[in-house]
A and B are shown apart, each in its own frame.
Chain A
Amino acid sequence: MGLEAATLSALRQRIAAIEAAGEVARPSAARLVAVDRGDVDAQLGGGLACGAMHEFYPAAAGDQAAADGFAALLAFACAPPGMPVVWIRQEQAMREGGELHADGLAALGIDPARLVLVRLRHAVSVLRAGIEVARSTAVGAALIEPWGSPKELDLTTQRRLVLAAEASGVTLFLLRPAAEPAPGSAETRWTVRAAPARALAMNAPGHPTFDLTLLRHRHGPSGGPWRLEWSRDESRFNPAPLWRDPLSLPRFRPAAPPAAGAVPRSAGHDAAPDRREGQGRDAHRRAGSGGA
């Protein structure tokens, strides 16, 4: 018994020593980029570290565009002004999620002229190109987007990416569409989900809104969820209420009870008003529990 305990404590000490050695690796002079100047930054200890690798998982298959957009906004925030950003995508990710659109990037406040897009067939090429870009001093930030969980994206490759990023100062954003969160070498690991935006006038969809969860942070506790809204005019994320504000609920619903006027003419839509009722109740309940 005593021997086992001694072995155990010895092993624990070794693990602690290894972990300590790992912790030191964070360069104290790393530039931090503010995400929301609020809760998220506080959790990150001041902001997102540049010259490191950050990993982003879409919360579900349909959230790829949200994860891509969120990471791209951060990438352009991390890149020093005027420095180009390289986005390396596997073709499969493009087939599933669509090709990047210059007007859409500009609509988010990103200058498409600063983006260099690399489109490759195989995951191994994506990772190779990623390491090459991570070593370059000409690039401000890089987004690396392999599809799924290729076996080449093992811990060794991730470590090489991290080391290259630390040496060159390029901030890496590893996008993981169609992958399950798994341990790795990234500085931070996030899940991103598209969140309902605060609707604008005339029930129009609002500004890009994201639900974030910090799954892992190498130099601090994980946290979340948070809801952030991107403001292009201010070039920053603003905290948004995580659950729908009960006061704003009527804006999401038809002004009049859906009895007479607003019923759609098509016969197939009779179910719609009921559904909306249900959704409203549901939202009420959630709002109640969120406040409690």
Chain B
Amino acid sequence: MRIAAPDPAALECGLTPGLALAEARARIADPAIADFDSAADDQLMERLADGCDRYTPLVARRGGNELVLDLTGVAALFGGEKALLRDALGRLARAGFTAHGAIAGASETARALARTGQPRIVAPGDETASVRDLPVAALELEPHEILALTRAGLKTIADLLERPRAPLAARFGSQIVTRLDQLTAAAEHPISPRRPVAALLVERIFFEPIVRTEDIAATLRFLAEDLGWRLEARGEGGRGFEASFYRVDGAVRRIAVATTRPSRDPRALMRLFAERLDALSDPLDAGFGFDLVRLGAYRTEAIAAVQRDLDGTDEDEGALFELIDQLGARFGTAPILRFLRDDTHMPERRSRLVPAIRFADGAPSKAEDAAGEPPLPGEPPLRPLTLLDPPEPVEALAEVPDGPPFQFRWRRALHRIAHAEGPERIAPEWWRMAHDPRAENAAATTRDYYRVEDETGRRFWLYREGLYESANTQPRWYMHGLFA
């Protein structure tokens, strides 16, 4: 066992990462040891990153323990860059973390400076000067490349900057030039934010943290109205909204709702949020209170202004969408489904259920219905009301080679068949077979369907997989659906 992460006191005693645990025990009597848990570390960093969302929506994680914040245009909101840096480091220090930070015009410059341990703010244009004195290790190259540089007598960034580029690249690889450019802000290194960026964001900061549920609801309503006005001014509506509550101790609570159609009506939004808050078993858990509440609209779409009827009732599909949204807010959007017709003849793939929230523009499968052949007059239903997924194997006795079954046993009950119609052969989709490992043998997956009615009047949809003629496989019978 080896040391993964020593604390400052351990470092002072000379216990470095990678040292064998036995050796550490030999040097220090009874050191405090805990197992290295990278998943927990990761979670902790995620929580800290959540907490940093209060400064900017663009927060990215780098490496194991670094956060990069894009502060473009936001520093003024927090009293300038200096105040922002002090606030951020102060919060982390109060939570018991040792943190270093720096602000610079490029993310790589800021990272390199932050690692020196000195809080620094680099004025625009000073990036090159600020990194001159750093050791070449700040380039974050492979250890053997750093070694090669130091052996060549190039100890600091300044040493590299003074040399001509082409020989450097020829000797140490082109990577070194790229890294130099990034470090000196000559080249952009874009960050990848952890979370999607809201199209529109409104927020309220509190000097005194709020705790009471009523205050939280009132704040949310205020923000919803604010957001509604702003969306209306842009002629847009949002289809996804997220309210985030920033707790004083750095924890963040998020509640997201989605709507079927672009929406900006504060009352409708509040109904959805109220639905979500009701459904939470532990509503928000304000703890010591929230000092920042934020409401963002994601995925905005243009909406035309609607003129309501004079009495305020408009009998369109809007009410259904509102109901779908409301159910979606309470139970999640996944279980609210509508039918979508797929262009395939395989019965189990033909009718697909997809979340209703995806259908903003009304009935999903009308066009497809028109395309499908209508049933003939006088024809009984040829497809069952319900399909079993997966089809359940049954023991059946049938006339060879392709007669309907006489009787079959399904779910331990014996059914004797009084009427039967079939077979209706449904061949597998050969163009899909390459992806389906089960479908190696075409004959084995050809299905012969029978519509049968047993003596008590129950109607079933059975199929035989495989043919009696083929010698190598024994046909199997399956129950696939139930008729009304």
Q: Which residues of A contact B (CB under 8 A)?
A: 62-66, 68-70, 72-73, 84, 86, 97-108, 111-120, 125, 128-129, 132-133, 136-139, 193-197, 199-200, 202-211, 230, 232-233, 252, 264-266, 268-269, 272, 275, 279
Contact = CB atoms under 8 A, between A and B. Distances in A.
Given A103-B351, A118-B337, A269 B406 contact: yes
Given A66-B484, A118-B337, A204-B451, A101 B420 contact: no
A99 B389 contact: yes
Contacts of A125: 331
B351 A102 contact: yes
B483 interface: yes
A106 B457 contact: no
B383 A101 contact: yes
B457 A194 contact: yes
A133 B484 contact: no
Nearest to A89: B335
Contacts of B287: none
Contact of B397 (A117, A129, A136, A269): A269
Contacts of B382: 107
Given A102-B339, A204-B421, A108 B378 contact: no
B476 to A, nearest CB: 16
A112 to B, nearest CB: 4
B319 A101 contact: no
Interface in B366-421: 366, 369, 372, 375, 377-378, 380-389, 397-400, 403, 406-407, 413, 416, 418-421
Contact of B458 (A62, A120, A230): A62
Given A101-B387, A107-B381, A113-B363, A129 B481 contact: no
Contacts of A113: 338-339, 363-366, 369
Contacts of B364: 113
Given A65-B483, A103-B350, A205-B420, A233 B377 contact: yes
Nearest to B321: A138
Contact of A266 (B399, B418, B455): B399
A132 B458 contact: no
Given A62-B413, A101-B347, A252-B418, A119 B337 contact: yes
Contacts of A72: 385, 484
B143 to A, nearest CB: 53
Given A128-B330, A205-B420, A265-B400, A69 B385 contact: yes
Interface in B306-329: 317-320, 322-324, 326-327
Contact of B331 (A112, A129, A136, A208): A129
Contacts of A97: 386, 482
B43 interface: no
A103 B369 contact: no
A70 B483 CA distance: 11
B459 interface: yes
A116 B364 CA distance: 11
A63 to B, nearest CB: 7
Contacts of A115: 338-339
Name the residue in A69, A139, A195, A230 with the highest tally of chain B Cβ atoms < 10 Å from its Cβ.
A69
Contacts of A86: 323
Name the residue in B317, B353, B398 with the highest tally of chain A Cβ atoms < 10 Å from its Cβ.
B353
B348 to A, nearest CB: 8
Interface in B70-88: none
Nearest first, the 9 A-B pairs at minimum CB distance are A69-B484, A102-B351, A98-B386, A138-B319, A107-B381, A204-B421, A65-B482, A103-B383, A205-B453
A116 B458 contact: no
Contacts of B317: 138
Contacts of B384: 65, 98, 101, 104
Contacts, number: 222
Contacts of A114: 363
Overall SS of chain A's interface: mixed
B189 interface: no
A29 B399 CA distance: 58
B3 interface: no
A136 to B, nearest CB: 5
A68 B273 CA distance: 34
Contacts of B324: 116
Nearest to B342: A102
B386 A208 contact: no
Interface in B469-484: 481-484
A230 B380 CA distance: 9
A171 B133 CA distance: 79
A232 B365 contact: no
B341 interface: yes
Contacts of A209: 457
A275 B406 CA distance: 11
Contacts of B45: none
B482 A106 contact: no
Nearest to B318: A138
Contact of A112 (B323, B339, B381): B339
B281 interface: no
Contact of A206 (B336, B351, B380): B380
Nearest to B452: A205
Contacts of B397: 266, 268-269
A101 B457 contact: no
A170 B429 CA distance: 43
B381 A138 contact: no
B362 to A, nearest CB: 9
A240 B419 CA distance: 18
Name the residue in B337, B350, B382, B407 with the highest tally of chain A Cβ atoms < 10 Å from its Cβ.
B337
Contacts of A199: 418-419, 453
B38 interface: no
Given A62-B413, A101-B347, A195 B457 contact: yes
Given A104-B483, A115-B338, 11 more contacts: A62-B456, A104-B383, A104-B387, A112-B339, A116-B324, A125-B331, A194-B484, A205-B459, A208-B484, A268-B397, A272-B406
B335 A112 contact: no
Contacts of B366: 113
Contacts of B336: 116-118
Contacts of A268: 397
Name the residue in A102, A105, A115, A128 with the highest tally of chain B Cβ atoms < 10 Å from its Cβ.
A102
A211 B458 CA distance: 11
A114 B369 CA distance: 12
B257 interface: no
Nearest to A129: B327
B356 interface: yes
A123 to B, nearest CB: 13
B372 to A, nearest CB: 7
Given A115-B338, A132-B326, A65 B386 contact: yes
Name the residue in B319, B407, B458 with the highest tally of chain A Cβ atoms < 10 Å from its Cβ.
B458
A73 B484 CA distance: 10
Nearest to B415: A62
B452 to A, nearest CB: 7
A118 B386 contact: no
